[in-house]
Amino acid sequence: MLQNSKPERIYLGGEAEVRIYSDFVEKIRKKKNYRVSDLDKILRESRTRTEARIISAARRNGVPTPIIFDVQGEKIVMERIKGEPLREIMNTELSRKLGELVAKLHEARIIHGDITPMNLIYSKGMIFFIDFGLSFYDERIESKGVDLHIYFESLKAYFDNWEELKEAFISGYKSYEKGGEVLKRAEEIDARGRYVERRMRD
């Protein structure tokens, strides 16, 4: 690994600074200045370890993710996935495939926490999940429902044909045995949100 070479690009995201090199990526979790610094360091390091662990667990469960090369404190060094952001090439077939992959994550109790077309890269004929910064383990239907709701909202924000993309995702997600139950919950979460919006407007 060329430790001294310059990154090709640097992203400043919400949680992290991401340095893109030709063959690897460094993701460094940023300091939160509103937190006491000792506690902040402990939290950042433990969340970094959780993120790296879940990236590897997803891969073992058949969901494409970058290979983890190293974890150092608040930094993850991982494989660079060369491809196109899913947002730029989204279609019903990809959304259906994504549904199958999220089903695998949920079967493994992994809640992604931020399934949006920006956190997915299409490469070598596969959809890679690249950002597990908000992920955690949970068996509850509610958490899985929220996970789907976030994806459905992101479809509405990015695509005019969001309805057919959502339907395609649903057909893929039904490969999960509890899929029907989770989808029902996602609809309830959506209805709750719309109710609150209406109350705030009136």
Ligand X SMILES: Nc1ncnc2c1ncn2[C@@H]1O[C@H](COP(=O)(O)OP(=O)(O)OP(=O)(O)O)[C@@H](O)[C@H]1O
How would you write 31-47 as a 3-class SS string? CCCCCCHHHHHHHHHHH
Q: Which residues bind ligand X (CB under 6 A)?
A: 11, 13-16, 18, 20, 25, 27, 66, 78, 80-81, 118-119, 130-131, 133
- Tell me whether residue 66 or residue 172 sits nearer to ligand X (CB atom): 66
The residue sitting closest to ligand X, measured at its beta carbon, is: 13
Span of 21-29, 115-123, 135-143, 191-199 interacting with Mg ion by CB under 5 A: 115-123
Nearest approach, Cβ of residue 186 and ligand X (Å): 21
- Tell me whether residue 8 or residue 181 sits nearer to ligand X (CB atom): 8
Q: How is residue 90 annotated by DSSP?
A: -
Nearest approach, Cβ of residue 135 and ligand X (Å): 11
| Strand ranges of the sheet holding 84-85, from the earlier edge strand across to the other edge | 84-85, 120-123, 126-129
CA–CA dist 46, 39 (Å, integer): 11
Member of 51, 74, 100, 131 binding Mg ion (CB under 5 A):
131
Member of 95, 119, 135, 154 binding Mg ion (CB under 5 A):
119
For residue 66, list its beta bridge partners.
none
- Residues with catalytic function: 114
- From the list 184, 123, 182, 117, the residue with the least C-alpha distance to 156 is 117
Neighbours of 182 (CB within 10 A): 23
- Tell me whether residue 16 or residue 182 sits nearer to ligand X (CB atom): 16
Nearest approach, Cβ of residue 198 and Mg ion (Å): 31
Burial degree of 16 (CB within 10 A; 0-12, 13-18, 19+)? buried
Binding site for Mg ion (CB under 5 A): 119, 131
